[in-house]
Structure 1
Amino acid sequence: MAVDMDLTVLSDNEIWTDAEQLVCCAVVPEAPNTATFSFTSPSGRLFRYEPGQFLTLELPIAGNTIWKTYTISSSPSRPMTISVTVKAQKDSIGTRWMLDHLQPGMKIKATGPAGIFTLPRKEKKKYLFISAGSGITPSLSMTTYLYDRGTDVDISFVHCAHRPQEIIARQRLEQMASRVPTIKLSFIVNEDDPYLVWTGLRGRLNQLMIGLIAGDYLERDVYCCGPEPFMDAVREMLIGLGYDMANYHQESFAAPVKKEEQLPEHDDVVPDEGASASVKFARSEVTAECHETHTVLAVARGAGIVIPSGCTFGVCGTCKVRKTSGEVHMVHNGGISEEDIDSGYILACCSKPIGAVEIDV
């Protein structure tokens, strides 16, 4: 393990500030169109930051300067260098320039570190890190930091990638997990790599996977980073599972924030245990009063209405019914298609009425 240096005892002139350029000291390929760039300070100053924070790099593109923000993927427990791990998309400009042109020995201007997506000052003991794509970088920094500190922490690390070869820093994470039994890794992929065996999970992250991977998720602080639709889906899953969202934290790598007042407000629908609702079963001519936290299936059973069901987890699709009016909060696990949802169908087992709802049953 690396030594966890106490940088608070150093004077300000021993700590790097963004008034000094960075020198690229290493470029390590991580996956297709993905690499980790490590930097040192020319003066030998050390780096002080919080795991999960970001840097903004000034990149010279075609005679102009563009500014790109990247989460720091290294750990402050290893203060000699600072690193960012970048992944180029089809429309990338700055990241593409870095992959094609930035080499060891080159100097670059950076501002920061900044950001509030960090571990709490009063360290918690149980974490659930959830990420997708290059959103793995803050989880990587946090995990390395906790590993280096040697504290008694329990990390469930969940990462989603398109293919196994696109899992960033996989070997580094596996090395840490092999030495610390309380770091549990779970990788989920959409497709296998050709001619290579994959024995992990496949498909899209869902509520069932969360329960299987971290059955005690209600006891963990959740840190999530990835594309916006991915994080929206994770929030929906956790809300549907009854998770206390006060313990949920997320960072958008498209728009990281520096201050709490810049945090976006999420338009999440959260069923309220104290809010009244009702379900009208139109064909049966029965209306049942309930609360927003009750599922349509549970309300139907309580009213003596039979809706065929199987898994009760939104997987099998047996309880699919058509909603003719009203709104529900539905978090399914693959048992219904987007076409059916657009046509007004819901799964009764994982749909909760928001106000008055009418079902064609």
Structure 2
Amino acid sequence: MMRDAAQFDPAHSRVTRPAFWGALPEKWTSDAEETLECCHVRQETHDVKSFFLRSPQGRTFSFEPGQFVTLELEIDGETLNRCYTISSSPARPHTLSITVKRVPGGKVSNWLHDNLMPGAMIRVLGPAGEFTCARHAAPKYLFLSAGSGITPLMSMSRAYHDLAEDRDIVFVHSARTPDDVIFARELELIAASHASFRTSFVCERVGARTHWSGVTGFLTLPLLKLIAPDFMEREIFTCGPAPYMKAVRDLLDEAGFARERYHEESFSFETLAVECAPLHAPDAGAAAANEAATFKVTFAKSHREIACGEHQHVLAAARAAGVRLPSSCAQGMCGTCKVKLISGEVDMKHNGGIRQREIDQGMVLLCCSTPRSDLVVDK
């Protein structure tokens, strides 16, 4: 078929964008635009959905693969914050997706599955997080995941795929049954498209499948050596339930793997609140007593006063003193422990759980703030 030769004239040095693209959009930030619109929902497995979000103002998303966002939700009159890893690729900046497993008894995951539909608006904070291959460049990677811990590693895999970079990646995912493997078809497509990308699924049992050619059982060191004989040479990223990640650490320690090339991320902020509840609390009182300086923290609404050491997080000191405060991640990520600081100064080292505008307004996260003076908190 003949085409207009002018379209291919090498003398044309200027390339214009199609008219329908319009002007290059601004980048989205949660400070500039707090609310995103759900534009699509996709059922991944029987109990897992992906929710696609977009900016009503047409802004684009910029993040590192493996990072997370925090949802700020009003459920039954209660404000809840939950962190979810971004599962989409940063190379597709016009939408952002999170992939959520319905957790039995999970207030947020069940609400999302039942209520977040196309057209719904949702408040989002972030992105944030350091669990990303973008900060650990390596010629070869080993991705190990279990359950919905697949999401950050899927974002990394999608990024390399979208950028047409045939990076040497072995992706080993563990699931209960073959029908519980999230993104199975897409991972197979990526593997078919890139010679250096290999997948392996390890399922506890066959389930309803009549034919399953994959591995059944659990990930072990002999199995890992069989799947990835050169795993000792790879940069390893792991995400999944706490028992799974402990098992991975144990088998890598047994093999003598260098810990500086091992990176892990908690897979579920829905359950992190329970897991982190005792954090610092058992010895927080002793720690406060041994501090070089101790400051008074006054909770204005509850009329409580506690002592907090200069190197102690305010949330840890409050827990040790029996003061009940809302919290979730305890790592400065989710924003659940955000409060107004009426007076005093703190040193806050957060991980994305608070907006700069909120900091300017005097808000702080108690879980990652240490006192620099006596404090009065609006709580």
Same fold, TM exceeding 0.5? yes
How much does 1:195 deviate?
A: 4.4
What whole-Å deviation, never above 9, does each CA across 1:54-109 have from its counterpart, x for those lacking one?
01011221122211110000010110100000001212110100001110001100
Letter in 2 for 1:132: A
The answer to whether structure 1 residue 153 and structure 2 residue 167 are counterparts is: yes
TM-score (norm 2): 0.63
The residue type equivalent to 2:30 in the other structure is D
Taking the aligned partners of 1:81 and 1:39, their CA distance within structure 2 comes to 6
Q: CA deviation at 1:151?
A: 2.3
Counterpart residue number, 2:359: none
Does structure 2 conserve the Cα–Cα contact (< 8 Å) formed by 1:87 and 1:95? yes
| Equivalent position amino acid for 1:126 in 2 | K
Residues 1:166 and 2:160 aligned together: no
- Deviation string 1:307-339 (CA, Å, 9 cap, x unpaired) is xxxxxxxxxxxxxxxxxxxxxxxxxxxxxxxxx
Map 1:47-86 to 2 at 5 A.
Answer: 47-86=61-100
Tell me the equivalent position of 1:89.
Answer: 103
What is the correspondence of 1:208-357 to structure 2 with a 5 Å cutoff? 208-254=222-268
Give 2:259's aligned amino acid. Answer: M
Partner Cα separation in structure 1 for residue 24 and residue 253 of structure 2 = 44
- 2:29 equivalent among 17, 30, 44: 17
1:104 matched to 2:118: yes
Q: CA 1:229–1:12 in 2, change beyond 3 Å: closer, same or farther? A: farther
- In structure 1, C-alpha distance between the alignment counterparts of 2:209 and 2:186, rounded to whole Å: 23
Letter in 1 for 2:80: I
Q: 1:202 to 1:139 in 2, by over 3 A?
A: same
Unaligned 5+ residue runs, structure 1? 1-10, 258-263, 266-361
Q: One-letter code of the match for 1:96?
A: N
Q: 1:171 to 1:251 in 2, by over 3 A?
A: same
1:25–1:39 Cα contact (<8 Å) kept: yes
Matching residue's letter, 2:205: E
Question: Structure 1 residues 132 and 183, CA, compared in 2 at 3 Å: closer, same or farther?
Answer: same
1:187–1:43 CA distance, 2 compared to 1 (3 A): same
Given the alignment of the two structures, is residue 142 of structure 1 paired with residue 152 of structure 2, yes or no? no
User: What's 2:41 paired with?
Assistant: 27
CA distance in 2 between counterparts of 1:184 and 1:13 reads 36
What are structure 2's unaligned runs of at least 5 residues?
A: 1-22, 273-278, 281-379
Name the counterpart of 2:128. 114
User: In 2, are the aligned partners of 1:125 and 1:152 still within 8 Å (CA)?
Assistant: no
Q: Which runs of 4+ in 1 moved over 2 A?
A: 120-123, 253-257
C-alpha distance in 1 between matches for 2:172 and 2:193: 18
Q: Secondary structure at the match of 1:14?
A: coil
- Paired with 1:254 and 1:12, the residues of 2 have a C-alpha distance of 35
Cα contact 2:166–2:197 (8 A) shared by 1: no
How far is the alpha carbon of 1:122 from its aligned partner?
6.2
Count of matched residue positions in the alignment of Structure 1 and Structure 2: 249
TM (norm. structure 1) is: 0.66
**d(CA) in 2 for partners of 1:209, 1:146:** 26
The CA RMSD over aligned residues, in Å, is: 2.1
C-alpha displacement of 1:231: 0.4
For 1:238 and 1:17, locate their aligned partners in 2 and report how far apart those are by CA, in whole Å.
38
Per-residue CA deviation, residues 338-361 of structure 1 (Å, 9 max, x unaligned), is xxxxxxxxxxxxxxxxxxxxxxxx
Question: SS of 2:61's equivalent?
Answer: coil
Percentage of pairs with the same residue:
43
